[in-house]
Amino acid sequence: MRNQFRRFVGCIALSLSCIMIASALSLASLPPARAEETTTIIYTSPFTAAIAQVRDSVVGVSNYQKVSYGGYGGYGGGYYFGWGYGDRGSSQEPEIREELASTGSGVVIGEGFILTNYHVVEDADTLKVTVTDDAGETIEYPATLAAWNENLDAAILYAPDCPLPPVTLGDSDTLLVGDWAICIGNPLGFAKTTTVGVISALGRGIESETYDRYGRRETITNTMIQTDAAINSGNSGGGMFSVTGELMGIPTLKYTGSYYTGGSVEGIGMCIPINAVKPMINSVLSGEVPLTPPEEEPQEPAPAAADLLGRPRLGVSIANVNSSSRAARLKQIPDGVFITAVDAGSPAEKAGLLPGDIIVDIDGTVITDVEQLTAIVGQHEAGDVLRIKVYRAEGLLDLKANQDAPDGEYFDVEVTLEIIQSDTGLVSNE
């Protein structure tokens, strides 16, 4: 029995030995082991391609305005404000210089056409588009104002020598909260600065106060895109792009704090949706808007009041708007000429003008005082048709100097001039 057990154990040991030898022979026949292979994955920014596509189409916009230095009663080198502490007896004429008043940004949207904010170009005597290359070299191109919408705070410049390619306009109605927002502009003069954030909100109703071309204050509400991409001074008029490089909006303003609470805020910027500006863009790029203003015909001097008897008239009594009244001081009413009375059967009555109306425009010329209106009418003949814009609000004729003016509206009339026999001078009876 014991011998059988020993034989069994010996067989097992022999089997194990054979297995070990076979395994060793198998391993010996394998090729030498190689080092473990690794794969390196490089992660790139989702913005790189879009930025490279559009950044060279973002330009600077320079607003130059005329400034008066020195002169009568000035500081002899400072800004001319009239009587000052300087050479009060000097009769030297002030020196007029054109200086850089402000800068902003713009985006090329067509061959020579640049989209920007209206407040960037407002009151400019000269406009220039600045292009900065990667080496920091800057070239300026002269530009003119091709179209603008003051209420929307948008403008289009025409710089025919600017060689940059236009960007692709996107569809801002397709934006969703959380989409990427790439803002490119020239904050503080740092050309082609890029900031990135997300769309924080859509359809923000932003109120702002402005003045129409006739001097009346009005509150405008624009629907804007909110983003947390950094928008700083000088970014205005630049571009807000999608990750596909399409222009989706115009960076316009940022909030830094609350006037009422005094609290400061970060990351609240507003952009004009590109779809809101497309009608103006299309009208310019399609050639509907002339790129140069028509040449004005030389105007003859207005005849003296004594020579105006028998000349064509409107048939109204007029006066300047009382600039010291509450309504005028608060800009509740426009500047212009106030109609105090309308003659029966006159051209003005036939056209529908009423006492209390304020004449603000004649044939595209803004009217600010009686003398100007008298001169314009005096240059026409009987039968000429004047396109007159008036502002009308109920109760203006009876408004007291310390009262607020009610809201009114503008409307246009056409007045055919006639000769009205009267001995009254035109200054009080037009």
Is the pLDDT at 7 greater than 70? The verdict is no
What are the distances in angstroms from CA 258 to CA 96, 261, 263, 268?
40, 5, 5, 12
CB 366 within 8 A of CB 329: no
pLDDT at 23: 54
Q: Which of 105, 172, 200, 236 is catalytic?
A: 236
Q: Range with the lowest mean pLDDT among 102-111, 343-352, 415-424?
A: 415-424
| 394-404 pLDDT per residue, tens | 888 888 878 88
CATH code of 168-276, in short, is 2.40.10.10
> For the chain, which residues make up each domain, given as ranges?
51-158, 168-276, 305-419
pLDDT exceeds 90 at position 105: yes
Annotate 172-205 with b (16+ C-beta within 10 A) or e (fewer).
beebeeeebbbbbbbbeeebbbbbbbebbebeee
Contact 145, 129 (CB under 8 A): no
Between residues 242 and 380, the one the model is more confident about: 242
pLDDT band for 279, please (50, 70, 90 cuts): very high
Residue 234 pLDDT: 86
Q: Please compute the mean of the pLDDT values over residues 142-171 and round it to a whole number.
A: 91
Sign, CA dihedral 376-377-379-380, equals positive
Residue 210 has pLDDT above 60, yes or no: yes
> What single string gives the DSSP state of each residue in 279-306?
HHHHHHHTT-S-SSPPPPPPPPPPPPGG
Look up residue 398 and give its DSSP letter. Answer: G
Q: How many helices and strands, by DSSP H and E, does the chain display?
A: 7, 21
Which residue among 56, 57, 105, 119 is the active-site one?
A: 119
Question: Which of 105-109, 127-131, 320-324 is predicted least confidently?
Answer: 320-324
Q: Can 404 be counted among the known catalytic residues?
A: no
Choice among 65-69, 107-111, 165-169 with the minimum mean pLDDT: 65-69
* pLDDT for the residue numbered 26: 54
| Least confident range of 21-25, 150-154, 214-218, 266-270 | 21-25
Question: In this predicted model, which residue has the larger pLDDT, 80 or 23?
Answer: 23
Per the CB < 8 A criterion, the answer to whether 333 and 405 are in contact is yes
Residue 336 has pLDDT above 70, yes or no: yes
Band of the pLDDT at 197, cuts 50, 70, 90? very high
At residue 330, the pLDDT reads: 82
Rounded Cα–Cα distance for residues 94 and 76 (Å): 9
- Express each pLDDT in 12-52 by its tens digit: 555 655 555 555 555 455 555 555 666 766 667 888 999 99
- Write down the catalytic residue from 56, 102, 105, 153: 153
Q: How high is the pLDDT of residue 18?
A: 57
Res. 274 pLDDT band, cuts 50 70 90: very high
Across 198-210, average pLDDT: 85
Is pLDDT at 56 greater than 80 in this prediction? yes
414 phi/psi in degrees, rounded to 5: -115, 125
> Is 153 designated active site?
yes
* pLDDT (0 to 100) of residue 72: 46
- pLDDT at 392 (0 to 100): 92
51-158: which CATH number, 3.40.1350.10, 1.10.3720.10, 3.60.70.12, 2.40.10.10? 2.40.10.10
Q: Matching CATH topology for 51-158 and 168-276?
A: yes
Q: Report which of 197, 196, 207 is spatially closest to residue 253, judged by C-alpha positions.
A: 207
Looking at residue 261, its pLDDT comes to: 60
242 — phi, psi (to 5°)?
-85, 175
Q: What is the CATH number of domain 305-419?
A: 2.30.42.10
Residue 398: active-site member: no
